[in-house]
Amino acid sequence: MATIYYNQPLLLEISRTFRVSPAAGGAIPVATQLGFAAGILLFVPLGDVTERRKLILRLFAAVSLALAAAGLAPSFWVLVAASVAIGMTASVTHIMVPIAPELAGPGEGGRAIGAVMSGLLLGILLGRTVSGAIAEAFGWRAVFLLAAVSTGAFVPLLAWRMPVLPPPRPLPYAEALRSLWDLIRQQPVLREASAVGFLVFAAFISFWTNLTFFLGSPHYRLGAGVAGGFGLVGAAGALVASPVGRLADRRGARFTLTLALGFVTAGYVLLWVFGYRIAGLIAGVVVLDIGQQSMQVSNQTRIFSLSRAARSRINTVYMIVFFLGGALGSALSALAWSRWQWSGVCGWGLAMLALAWVCHGLGTASQ
């Protein structure tokens, strides 16, 4: 999943390479997020349809090819198209996440999800750091090419270690797709979690999309390496995923979701008020990432408890909406940056969080 975030510390360098504006450069993360949402719609329901080991191996191989295409892109729009392909194939991670509660013991679903999310999130955050460091030393193309090689090398390792994983209750692919609407209509908790996830992720991705522009602005004059280094700061968020999962098992996922929204909101306030100092940026990133990852663990603990047989399809609905929020956040926050700079980005993020609080307050109190 780190593959869909490699581009964030690179946007300033990519924009300079292809001589496009920062607002136009924002098309790259938008394309990746939209591709990810499309991949979730097309591929993740297959987790309830077909044997998952073979599906996972094929998609990892496809990710490697898409990354290579991005690294070799001769034009900006070819890179945008490759970014769509990266996003689509990287959806493989959300075929893997619903497997965690399936293998966990009774009453330990939150803990299992938290453990898996800790690994995924550390990869995402450290991926930003590695991406920025490689770009500083060898250029942004090297990031995608090295990622293509490392992802391709991972395929035989998975083939060796991963067990055969038949679907819980096989059903035809067309029926699985048709049933997505039934899940949306029948599950109010899924609708609520999806709405909150959409809004919080729109706010969260807005910060990360524009951080490289903020650090490259006349106020800071810092490069991709520093922007990527903030991934290490954000690793605190990944470290709380497992404890939050255990707390959700004990106190309920809605309780931990309330805490998460408080952290995300506090993080944005810190970024807006104190973001013009490095110490303020660091504090804001830590609090923001703790809240974001706590929100994700809480929401997925809630929705995976709804139906064991439909977990892949439930995750499909949730993650499509979630990453559409990311695409919206990337696109509109890039415009906000172009017009109002850092204040515009922070104001946009807090507006999305205000709506998230409304959705949460009006939601289902029992789960």
Q: Tell me the per-residue pLDDT of 245-275, one tens digit each, with 9 for 90 and over.
A: 778 878 888 899 999 999 999 999 999 999 8
Please count the other Cβ atoms lying within 10 Å of the Cβ belonging to residue 170. 11
> Which domains are assigned to the chain?
2-361 (1.20.1250.20)
List the single range of 30-44, 233-247, 299-313, 324-338 with lowest mean pLDDT.
Answer: 233-247
3-class DSSP string for the chain: CHHHCCCHHHHHHHHHHHCCCHHHHCHHHHHHHHHHHHHHHHHHHHHHCCCHHHHHHHHHHHHHHHHHHHHCCCCHHHHHHHHHHHHHHHCCHHHHCCHHHHHCCCCCHHHHHHHHHHHHHHHHHHHHHHHHHHHHHHCHHHHHHHHHHHHHHHHHHHHHHCCCCCCCCCCCHHHHHHHHHHHHHHCHHHHHHHHHHHHHHHHHHHHHHHHHHHHHCCCCCCCHHHHHHHHHHCHHHHHCHHHHHHHHHHHCHHHHHHHHHHHHHHHHHHHHHHCCCHHHHHHHHHHHHHHHHHHHHHHHHHHHCCCCCCHHHHHHHHHHHHHHHHHHHHHHHHHHHHHHHHHHHHHHHHHHHHHHHHHHHCCCCCC
pLDDT for res 267: 94
Q: Who wins on pLDDT, 104 or 7?
A: 7
| Mean local confidence (pLDDT), 320-334 | 86
Instruction: Give the chain's mean pLDDT.
Output: 85
Q: Who wins on pLDDT, 62 or 117?
A: 62
| pLDDT for residue 107 is more than 70 | no
pLDDT for res 59: 92
| pLDDT for residue 344 is more than 90 | yes
| pLDDT for residue 119 is more than 70 | no
| pLDDT for residue 200 is more than 80 | yes
Q: Who wins on pLDDT, 263 or 1?
A: 263
| Mean local confidence (pLDDT), 186-200 | 94
| pLDDT for residue 303 is more than 80 | yes
List the single range of 239-243, 327-331, 345-349 with lowest mean pLDDT.
Answer: 239-243
| pLDDT for residue 124 is more than 70 | no
| pLDDT for residue 78 is more than 60 | yes
| Mean local confidence (pLDDT), 136-165 | 87
CA angle 150, 152, 156 (to 5 degrees): 110
The most confident of the ranges 62-66, 105-109, 289-293 is: 62-66
pLDDT over 90, % of the chain: 34
| pLDDT for residue 68 is more than 60 | yes
| pLDDT for residue 366 is more than 70 | no
pLDDT for res 202: 94
| Mean local confidence (pLDDT), 7-18 | 86
| pLDDT band (50, 70, 90) for residue 109 | low
The most confident of the ranges 123-127, 290-294, 347-351 is: 347-351
Going by C-alpha positions, the residue among 5, 11, 6, 39 that lies closest to residue 24 is: 11
